[in-house]
Chain A
Amino acid sequence: MKIIVYDNHFNGNEWFVIGIVVLAFAAVWLLPRRFSPAQTTFNLLIGITFGVVFDHSIGTPPFDLYDAGDNSTYELIDLFSYFMYAPFGYLFIYGYERLRMFEIMTVVYILFWAVMSAGTEWLAVQAGVFHYKHGYQLAYSFPIYLFLISNRLE
């Protein structure tokens, strides 16, 4: 597999990852505690797990639909970027419990978070965190987010 180099400095894309991780975990830290340690761990881990499994399934050959980071290989910053997913999972479940979502509002809530996730991915692409390949587009990520977010509630 040929290595594609998009960047070779510690710059915007790395700072974007660090910024999102710091801000999102700060939000998790500052919010009042609603969950037990096990539930908190679960809420944080589920985002990371889904992110890792999907990224390593469709982001690597034979699909190879996108790259993350400065080049097409797997680097330490790519591993660190998975921590971006953890707070999103936590905040999603936190908001669901806190706002006492029910029935049709659950659908709206899931759609909202899918849009938020796609929006964050768009920002990440602009910052150079992700690089689409082989015709992949942001629109393809939206149903994936819908599926993953819905699964979290199950």
Chain B
Amino acid sequence: MVVVIFLLLAWFCIAVMVSLPNKLPLAANFLLVMVIEVIVTNKLTVLTYNLKLIQINTSSIPRYLSMILENDVFVTFVLLTFANVFLTASKASTRWGISVYTFLVQMFVGAMLRWNSVLIYTGWNLFMEAVMIIALMIYTLLMGRLFQRMVSKEGWIR
């Protein structure tokens, strides 16, 4: 059942991203997905196997798959959506809105991972989670801006 929930969440975040009316050029999005994926994967490995602040429930295949879906699909596409909306929006309210949405949805899904015993916090806490999410958002924006400028110089519009 837990993997079904995270499959639905993965589908939802991809659907939201695909449905956006204004997006960055495709080339920028491809590059952004890759740099997000590298950071998010490394972050998980360092937090779990080096610092041992989080423990992954590897005894259950559905829970492990849920963690993979959340880390490699959900977080990636939520951050991608955030960059696309933030960097193409002209209104400050839109930017604030997507920032708050991105932060809250990641906190909520992180909590869902704990509630379903997918991840166990052995030294991690909500404050650290919040700081990490904000750091990821800032990183995503910086890389998104870089790639947006890079591809716009080459004439990529969409």
Contact = CB atoms under 8 A, between A and B. Distances in A.
Interface of A: 1, 36-38, 41-42, 45-46, 48-49, 52-53, 56-57, 60-62, 73-74, 79, 82
A56 to B, nearest CB: 5
A52 B38 contact: yes
Give the secondary structure class of A's interface.
helix
A48 B35 CA distance: 9
B87 interface: no
B42 A38 contact: no
Given A45-B31, A62-B58, A38 B49 contact: no
B10 interface: no
Nearest to B46: A74
29 contacts: A1-B49, A36-B154, A37-B150, A37-B154, A38-B28, A38-B31, A38-B151, A38-B154, A41-B31, A41-B147, A41-B150, A42-B31, A45-B31, A45-B38, A46-B34, A48-B34, A49-B34, A52-B38, A52-B42, A56-B42, A56-B45, A57-B68, A61-B49, A61-B56, A62-B64, A73-B50, A74-B42, A74-B45, A74-B50
B27 interface: yes
A53 B41 contact: yes
B96 interface: no
A154 to B, nearest CB: 12
A126 to B, nearest CB: 25
A154 B72 CA distance: 20
State the 7 A-B residue pairs at the shortest beta-carbon distance, nearest first: A62-B58, A49-B34, A45-B34, A56-B41, A38-B151, A36-B154, A52-B38
A60 B47 CA distance: 13
Contacts of A57: 68
A50 B28 CA distance: 18
A41 B146 CA distance: 11
B42 A79 contact: yes
A38 B156 contact: yes
Contacts of B156: 38
B44 interface: yes
A79 B39 CA distance: 11
A1 B44 CA distance: 15
Interface in B97-138: none
B12 interface: no
Given A42-B27, A53-B72, A62-B64, A73 B38 contact: no
Contacts of B38: 45, 48-49, 52, 82
A52 B150 contact: no
A38 B50 contact: no
Contacts of A74: 42, 45-46, 49-50
